[in-house]
Amino acid sequence: MGQSVTEKLIASHLVAGKCLPGEEVGIRIDQTLTQDATGTMAYLEFEAMGVSEVKTELSVSYVDHNTIQLGFENADDHRYLQSVAEKFGIYFSRAGNGICHQVHLERFGRPGKTLIGSDSHTPTAGALGMLAIGAGGLDVALAMAGEPFYFTYPRVARVNLHGFLPPWVTAKDVILYLLKILTTRGNVGWVLEYGGEGVGRLSVPERATIANMGAELGVTTSIFPSDEITEKFLLSQGRKEDWMPLVADAGTIYDRVLDIDLSALEPLAACPHSPDNVKPVREIGLVEVDQVCIGSCTNSSYKDLATVASILKGKKVHPRVSLVIAPGSRQVLSAISRDGYLTYLIEAGARIMESACGFCIGVGQSPPSGGVSLRTSNRNFYGRSGTRDAQVYLVSPEVAAVAALTGKILDPREAGITYPQVMLPDFFPIDDGMIIPPKTPQERERVEIIRGPNIGLPPVNEPLSRDISGIVTIKLGDKITTDHIIPGGERMKYRSNIARYADFVFEVIDSSFSTRAKAIKEKGYANIIVAGLSYGQGSSREHAAICPMYLGVKVVLARSFERIHAANLVNFGILPLTFLNEGDYFRIREGDALNITDIKGRLERSEEIVIENVTQGVSFSVGYTLTEREKNLIIAGGALNARKK
């Protein structure tokens, strides 16, 4: 029997566990990436491990999220990150150099390697034939310290792409189509492996758009073969020697096979407020647009922006529309400038932003009240743009460009514009001057780590107590994202200051949560979060576990969890439990007092866990899917405590 690309990559990096779906495996990590918003905490955790240098082949620290630098906090964080990189042998990509995933694709990603990153869109590098997985900062810190990365051995779905993308239909529409059929929940534990003759017609940046938004499906990662297209891309980056072929064997048996006819796709949009609320653009009807934002790690490549520029060339942006363009990297910006496209964008009235995440994470460019914003990014969760009553649609750069001109959501095929066919250049302008390489061991010894007043210590949990007496502090519905749990945007400047950031837990949906949680904690009770299906969708931010932990949350009881968030809860000693009967979920109420007796012993003996609802006078059994390793982390009060032991 043949092997898939996924199987080959896991087998060649396996250090623990058995390659059987559902089993926990540990793999050796070749590369890591961090970004500034998750990176400060990840490096504080790394420092707490007492290791003198990173043990990976390559680790990169990017600054791309909090680049607005209002107040001293962001700049202090960046200075801390730069000094840590110098101290421990890490590449440092400075603010302005670009979004981590775009730059990693251009300058560092290599077929056949493993990568974990403290950002959920790390699988973007799957476009190069890497096994690239998003994780919490602590898991990345552990990998930098030379520990394996543990995850559930996946089931692999083969996605066969056939035919050609018609004019105006793009890679974004491929992944929006998949989101429509697979949705944002129920895909935990799967890898999507792309193949079929249609793959050979997609460039690496187009593959990257598809792999990127696999994060929204909730899959472990997405992976493309490494073929001649990959080779050509690496050649255009002056990195031909980094190429190696990597394809699935003939006769490989997959757990599921999906076939997509590219020729039958059409322009799609994810409507408010979920990436899986997908409709054909032609069915949306008349919607007037106030803002168009083109950029983010999903769609900010040379091809994306050159296509947009060709559509806008010689025309002016609609008077109601604010058109914002954030190139994915300094390389993209310099290439579109070299080839004249930047001029068309400027002449059309585009507002050129820094090469950074920016609008995508609510750092600037919040839409007007009740406004409609069309974005090429990957998430339109409620409140993420910074304007709670805004309506955010996710579309391709082509649909976005046509909306910028016409002021409405329009099927671009109806706009009377000739489709511009943009080719990738043979060579990109290569200038790594904004990437500071690692120092020599002698130089490292002299480096002092710089800590501003915004940098606190990573908080640690207490070991698990024998019994838990707690209160249901909040009861939530389905598909609660980490943006709901702890907001991004202007609040992100407190990423290194947990005591302050914790004030904003659930701010978007229930601004009194943190006050209530603090009062419950002070009375000596545990806080318990109750949630529906697919709790913890979206980002990898471990702050969605650390801040609740800081407020005294000991248990999250949900109908189901998303992968990265569940791992983050365990890493910080919060117990993820699942409802076995949906009736128990519907019965439980906010404010109910719950008792769990002998929890520690029951976990140790792998026994059933029963929750007594004291308020309602009923008891019910709950489930858990923790491995022995994870149980030990919970019992120790988190991974930092366990490692100290």
Chain residues in the site for ligand SF4 (CB under 6 A): 65, 99, 119, 121, 296-297, 357, 360-361, 377-378
Residues 429-468 touching ligand MIC, rule: CB under 6 A, are none
Structure-block tokens of residue 10: 């896991």
Identity of the residue, 323 or 363, whose beta carbon is nearer to ligand MIC in the bound complex: 363
Which residue has tokens 């983010």?
A: 296
User: Binding-site residue total for ligand MIC (CB under 6 A)?
Assistant: 12
Give the C-alpha separation, 214 to 601, whole Å: 38
CB 580 → ligand SF4: shortest distance, Å?
Answer: 34
Residue with the two structure tokens 């090429």: 376
To which residue do tokens 């993820």 refer? 576
Is position 61 an interface residue for ligand MIC (rule: CB under 6 A)? no
The single residue among 45, 119, 242, 630 that binds ligand MIC, judged by CB under 6 A, is 119
* Of 8, 78, 104, 121, the one binding ligand MIC by CB under 6 A: 121
Residue 540 contact partner, candidates ligand SF4, ligand MIC, none, CB within 5 to 8 A by sort of partner = ligand MIC
377 binds, options ligand MIC, ligand SF4, none, Cβ within 5 to 8 A by partner type: ligand SF4
Q: Which residues of 43-65 are buried (b: 16+ CB within 10 A; e: fewer)?
A: bbbbbbbebebbbbebbbbbbbb
CB-CB neighbours of 340 under 10 Å: 11
Asked whether the beta carbons of 520 and 469 are under 8 A apart, the reply is no
* Beta carbon of residue 19, minimum distance to ligand MIC (angstroms, whole number): 27
From 267-275, 458-466, 524-532, 537-545, give the range in contact with ligand MIC by CB under 6 A. Answer: 537-545
**Per-residue binder mask for ligand MIC (CB under 6 A), 204-243, x = binder:** ----------------------------------------
Cβ of residue 403: shortest distance to ligand SF4, in angstroms?
20
If one asks whether residue 140 binds ligand MIC (CB under 6 A), the answer comes out as no
With a CB cutoff of 8 Å and minimum separation 6, the contacts of 583 are: none
Of 116 and 533, nearer to ligand MIC (C-beta) is: 116
Q: Does 93 bind ligand MIC (CB under 6 A)?
A: no
Tokens coding 198: 């249609």
Cβ density class 525-538: b for 16+ within 10 Å, e for less: bbbbbbbbbbbbbb
Question: What contacts 24+ positions apart, CB below 8 Å, involve 513-516?
Answer: 513/473, 513/474, 514/551, 516/473
**Binding to ligand MIC by residue 252, rule CB under 6 A?**
no
Tokens of 244: 């190696």
- Encode burial over 242-268: b for 16+ CB neighbours within 10 A, e otherwise: bbeebbbeeebebeeebebebeebebb
* DSSP code, position 275: T
Query: For the residues of 122-168, what is the DSSP string, one character each?
Result: GGGGGGGT-EEEE--HHHHHHHHTTPPEEEEPPEEEEEEEES-PPTT
Residue 541's binding partner among ligand SF4, ligand MIC, none (Cβ under 5 to 8 angstroms by kind) is ligand MIC
Bridge partners of 531, per DSSP, are 558
Minimum CB separation of residue 346 from ligand MIC in Å reads 28
The gap from C-alpha 639 to its chain's centroid, in whole angstroms, comes to 21
**Cβ of residue 481: shortest distance to ligand MIC, in angstroms?**
9
Using CB under 6 A as the binding rule, whether residue 541 contacts ligand MIC is answered as yes
| C-beta of 214 vs 488, nearer to ligand MIC | 488
Name which of ligand SF4, ligand MIC, none residue 99 binds, using a CB cut-off of 5 to 8 Å depending on partner kind.
ligand SF4
- Whether residue 536 contacts residue 566, with contact meaning beta carbons closer than 8 Å, is answered with yes
Nearest approach, Cβ of residue 344 and ligand MIC (Å):
29
Minimum distance, C-beta of residue 99 to ligand SF4, in the bound complex (Å): 5
Output Rg (C-alpha) for the chain, integer angstroms: 24
300 binds ligand MIC (CB under 6 A): no
- Residue placing its CB nearer to ligand SF4 in the complex, 390 or 611: 390
Single residue of 539, 560, 568, 571 touching ligand MIC by CB under 6 A: 539
User: Which residue number, 412 or 488, has a Cβ lying nearer to ligand MIC?
Assistant: 488
Residue 107 interacting partner from ligand MIC, ligand SF4, none (CB closer than 5 to 8 Å by kind): none
361 binds ligand MIC (CB under 6 A): yes
Q: Could you tell me the sign of the dihedral formed by the alpha carbons of 483, 487, 490, 491, in that order?
A: negative
Which residues are at the interface with ligand MIC (CB under 6 A)?
A: 37-38, 65, 119-121, 361, 488, 538-541
